[in-house]
Amino acid sequence: MDTIFALATAQGRAGVAVIRISGPQAHACGTVLCSSLPPSRQFALRNLVDLDGAVLDQALVLSFDGPNSFTGEDVVEFHLHGSVAVVSAVLRVLGQGVGRVAEPGEFTRRALENDRMDLSQVEGLGDLIEAETEAQRQQALRMVQGAFGQKIEVWRSKLIRAAALIEVTIDFADEDVPVDVTPEVLSLLGSIKTDVSDELVGFIAAERIRTGFEVAIIGPPNAGKSTLLNAFAKREAAITSERAGTTRDVIEVRMDLNGLPVTLLDTAGLRDSTDDIETQGVARAIARGKSADLRIFLVEPTDVLSISPCKDDVVIAPKADTRTDDVRAVSGLTGQGVPELIAEISEVLKIKTQGAGLASHARHRDAMQNSLAKLEEAICFVNAGSDHYDIAAEEIRVAIRSLEVLVGRVGVENLLDEIFASFCLGK
Report the pLDDT averaged over residues 287-305. Answer: 84
Mean pLDDT, the chain, rounded, equals 82
User: Are 221 and 199 in contact, with CB atoms under 8 Å apart?
Assistant: no
pLDDT of residue 120: 83
Does residue 361 carry a pLDDT above 90? no
Per-residue pLDDT reduced to its tens digit, 386-427: 788 889 888 988 888 888 767 544 443 443 344 334 333 322
Give the least confident one: 34-48, 235-249, 330-344: 235-249
As a three-state string, the secondary structure of the chain is CCCEEEECCCCCCCCEEEEEEECCCHHHHHHHHCCCCCCCCCEEEEEEECCCCCEEEEEEEEEECCCCCCCCCCEEEEEEECCHHHHHHHHHHHHCCCCEECCCCHHHHHHHHCCCCCHHHHHHHHHHHHCCCHHHHHHHHHHHCCHHHHHHHHHHHHHHHHHHHHHHHHHCCCCCCCCCCHHHHHHHHHHHHHHHHHHHHCHHHHHHHHHCEEEEEECCCCCCHHHHHHHHHCCCCCCCCCCCCCCCCCEEEEEEECCEEEEEEECCCCCCCCCHHHHHHHHHHHHHHHHCCEEEEECCCCCCCCCCCCCCCEEEECCHHHCCCCCCECCCCCCCCHHHHHHHHHHHHHHHHCCCCCCCCHHHHHHHHHHHHHHHHHHHHHHCCHHHHHHHHHHHHHHHHHCHHHHCCCCHHHHHHHHHHHCCCCC
Most confident of 75-89, 245-259, 329-343: 75-89
pLDDT of residue 88: 93
CA distance 56 to 201: 56
Give the least confident one: 141-155, 275-289, 317-331: 275-289
pLDDT of residue 367: 87
Per-residue pLDDT reduced to its tens digit, 232-275: 877 665 444 344 444 445 788 888 888 889 888 887 766 555 56
Does residue 79 carry a pLDDT above 60? yes
Give the least confident one: 41-55, 117-131, 149-163, 164-178: 164-178
CA distance 107 to 48: 23
Task: Return all residues near 167 (Cβ < 8 A) that are at least 6 apart.
Answer: 393, 415, 419
Q: How many CB atoms lie within 10 A of CB 172?
A: 14
User: Are 106 and 43 in contact, with CB atoms under 8 Å apart?
Assistant: no
Does residue 335 carry a pLDDT above 80? yes
Instruction: Name the phi and psi angles at 8, rounded to 5.
Output: -90, -15
pLDDT of residue 310: 84
Instruction: Name the phi and psi angles at 97, rounded to 5.
Output: -100, -150
Cα-to-chain-centroid distance, residue 423: 42
Q: How confident is the model at residue 59 (pLDDT cuts 50, 70, 90)?
A: very high
Q: How confident is the model at residue 85 (pLDDT cuts 50, 70, 90)?
A: very high
Give the least confident one: 200-209, 244-253, 353-362: 244-253
Give the least confident one: 36-45, 47-56, 217-226, 238-247: 238-247
Q: How confident is the model at residue 175 (pLDDT cuts 50, 70, 90)?
A: low
pLDDT of residue 248: 45
User: Are 145 and 122 in contact, with CB atoms under 8 Å apart?
Assistant: no
